[in-house]
Amino acid sequence: MNLAELKDLLLAHPDLTVAIALPEGGRVPAHYHVTEVGHVAKKFVDCGGSFRASEVCVLQTYTGSPRDDGHRLAAGRLAKILGLAQPILPGNDLPVEIEYETEFIAQFPLEGAQVNGPELLLQLGLKHTACLAPDRCGISDAAGVAEETDRCCAGTSAGGGCC
């Protein structure tokens, strides 16, 4: 889901509480805060030598003390927070990711949202790593990734040389 789609949903349902569903079925505790809205730009070179770039809007969440349990973020309030961040966001077409910490800090792509009674439920997905130059590395399918990666990263071995 991109920033424009999220803003439209928030503005269409300003009085609903924003809830966040984790990919594996749990939820971010209801008393979370959005503590940061960021524009994250990443420039990198893939294992085949191609230069790439990606950009996202990251909403950092924080779940403080359970004493904050009365805190609930309304959709209208989140829309206002996103409005404050507009000067640092280069456009509304940025994909949205939500940063959340349990045992570790992770970023989850925002995959969708739905009205669920008194709440606007944001559904998070999972991010995965991938070889971005499978033709150079000799990777043809997910089942052969580990075996082919060993060959790929061997440098000058047959079919290798991408890493």
Cα–Cα distance for residue pair 145/1, rounded to 1 Å: 29
| Judgement on whether residues 43 and 74 belong to the same structural domain of the protein | yes
Are 82 and 153 members of one domain? Answer: no
Residue 66, pLDDT above cutoff 90:
no
Q: Which residues form the domain of 149?
A: 130-163
Which residue carries 């949205």 as its tokens? 96
- Regarding whether 116 and 68 lie in a shared domain, the answer is yes
Q: What is the average pLDDT value for the chain, to the nearest integer?
A: 88
pLDDT (0 to 100) of residue 71: 82
Same domain, 56 and 136: no
Domain count, the chain: 2
Which pTM was predicted?
0.83
